[in-house]
Amino acid sequence: MGPVESAILVWLAIGAGIAAGVFVVARSAVQIGSVAYRVMEKQMAGKVAARETALLTLALVAGLVVTAFVAGYAIFAIFGTILQSSGFTENGS
């Protein structure tokens, strides 16, 4: 496998990681709304709802953190590539 194919696979993995993180965040938010609805409709007890909401919030925060790290790596890689291709070296010349 050549360098172009490797680069494509890396960017595909980064894109998949970001998409998965966004999905986890969105899904957790929808589930939290569902828990709130079930509490309002008296279909769920408050203690159970609090426990479920805490777990869903933990999943939401974890999804945000992972997505931020993956996106941060992608941004860092893009800027590194741009700086490298522009001839800007480590010593600033």
User: For the CA atoms of 40, 41, 42, 43, what is the dihedral angle to 10 degrees?
Assistant: -120
CA–CA gap between residue 89 and residue 40 (Å, rounded): 60
φ, ψ dihedrals at 75, nearest 5°: -65, -45
Q: What is the pLDDT of residues 19-72, one digit of tens each?
A: 999 999 999 999 999 999 999 998 989 899 999 999 999 999 999 999 999 999
User: CA of 80: how far to CAs of 46, 69, 76, in Å?
Assistant: 50, 16, 6
> Measured between alpha carbons, how far is 14 from 8 in angstroms, rounded to an integer?
10
Q: Is the pTM of this model over 0.85?
A: no
Q: How is residue 81 written in tokens?
A: 């590539």
Position 9 pLDDT exceeds 70: yes
| Better-scored residue on pLDDT, 48 or 1 | 48
- For 68-92, write each residue's pLDDT tens digit: 999 998 888 888 777 777 776 555 5
Contact 49, 35 (CB under 8 A): yes
